């Protein structure tokens, strides 16, 4: 007799819900990004001038390679100090791949460059080095696709970085038409990730070495070892 076909009672999710927090890799390591992309859990990448400088590779080549590894936004930062320089560099970076997000600093010049790059040139812009709610408000007003508040660097000064995420979430929530996403950066620990999710951050970018720490739990390992021992002792198999 043929086995009956069992219909699932709930629809199977082909794609994760769009509203779930996004995870970006904060890295310029091709190897790490490739490994993380293979998990299917990575939605984008962030880089900064320190990382690119240390990579020893020309920025356009490096960013181009990263953009081929992930479909989502890849942040690449300008180095100019004036709006004019930032716009010039941002346009060059924006031509590397359609998924480049031009990163500009949260300065008056950077905010002006953000407006020009996003509104006149149609580029995604990540306004970075955000340390206050008013700065985040200005980034949104300037048309930023992303604003990057730095959680860990505030914690370094004994100021609760997650408070800033809560403030920005509350302020942006007062203006539902705002489309700027809160890209929580300088995230260094699993507790930061949990805190960002509790605060309603849209995106968390974290160094590759933090990802495994989100999964690891001694009770999971212990439980699995016990299950497998009992399974083997019972002579079971799935065929």
When binding is defined by CB under 6 A, the residue of 37, 42, 43, 48 that contacts ligand E4P is 48
Phi and psi for 103 in degrees, rounded to 5? Answer: -100, 130
Q: Is 152 in the site for ligand E4P (CB under 6 A)?
A: yes
Residue indicated by tokens 């936004």: 73
Give the separation between CA 185 and CA 174, rounded to whole angstroms.
23
Q: What totals of helices (H) and strands (E) does the chain contain, helices first?
A: 11, 8
Helix axes 190-199, 161-173, angle to 10 degrees: 20
103 in catalytic set: yes
Q: Which is nearer to ligand E4P, 152 or 190 (CB)?
A: 152
Q: Which of 158, 210, 217, 215 is nearest to 184 (CA)?
A: 210
What x-and-dash track marks residues 154-193 binding ligand E4P by CB under 6 A? -------------------------------xx-x-----
- Burial class of 158 by CB neighbour count within 10 A (0 to 12, 13 to 18, 19+): exposed
Interface region with ligand E4P, contact rule CB under 6 A, candidates 35-43, 94-102, 145-153, 189-197 = 145-153
Interface region with ligand E4P, contact rule CB under 6 A, candidates 35-43, 91-99, 148-156, 208-216 = 148-156
Give the separation between CA 51 and CA 69, rounded to whole angstroms.
18
Give the separation between CA 201 and CA 146, rounded to whole angstroms.
11
Give the separation between CA 157 and CA 147, rounded to whole angstroms.
21
Q: Is 27 in the site for ligand E4P (CB under 6 A)?
A: no
Work out how close the CB of 207 gets to ligand E4P at its nearest, in angstroms, rounded to a whole number. 7
What tokens were used for 222? Answer: 């212990």
Binding residues for ligand E4P, rule CB under 6 A, total 12
Catalytic residue among 22, 54, 84, 103, which? 103
Q: Which is nearer to ligand E4P, 118 or 128 (CB)?
A: 128
When binding is defined by CB under 6 A, the residue of 182, 205, 210, 211 that contacts ligand E4P is 205
> Could you give the residue numbers annotated as active site?
103
- Interface residues with ligand E4P (CB under 6 A)? 26, 46, 48, 128, 148, 150, 152-153, 185-186, 188, 205
């Amino acid at each position: 007799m043929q086995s009956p076909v069992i219909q699932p009672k709930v629809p199977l999710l082909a794609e994760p819900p769009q509203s779930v927090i996004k995870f970006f890799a904060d890295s310029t390591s091709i190897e790490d990004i490739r490994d993380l992309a293979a998990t299917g859990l990575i939605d984008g990448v962030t880089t900064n001038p320190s990382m690119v400088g240390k990579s020893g590779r020309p920025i356009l080549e490096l960013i181009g390679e990263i953009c081929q590894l992930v479909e989502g936004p890849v942040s690449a930062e300008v180095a100019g100090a004036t709006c004019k320089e930032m716009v010039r560099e941002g346009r060059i970076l924006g031509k590397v791949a359609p998924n480049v997000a031009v990163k500009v600093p949260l300065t008056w010049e950077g905010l002006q460059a953000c407006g020009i790059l996003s509104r006149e040139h149609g580029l995604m812009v990540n306004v970075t080095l955000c340390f206050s709610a008013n700065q985040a408000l200005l980034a949104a007003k300037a048309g930023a696709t992303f604003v990057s508040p730095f959680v860990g660097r505030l914690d370094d000064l004994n100021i609760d970085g997650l408070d800033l995420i809560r403030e920005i979430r509350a302020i942006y929530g007062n203006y539902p038409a705002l489309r700027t996403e809160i890209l929580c950066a300088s995230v260094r620990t699993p507790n930061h990730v949990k805190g960002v999710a509790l605060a309603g951050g849209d995106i968390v970018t974290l160094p590759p070495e933090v990802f495994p720490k989100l999964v690891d739990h001694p009770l999971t390992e212990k439980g699995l070892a016990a299950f497998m021992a009992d399974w083997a002792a019972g002579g079971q198999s799935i065929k």
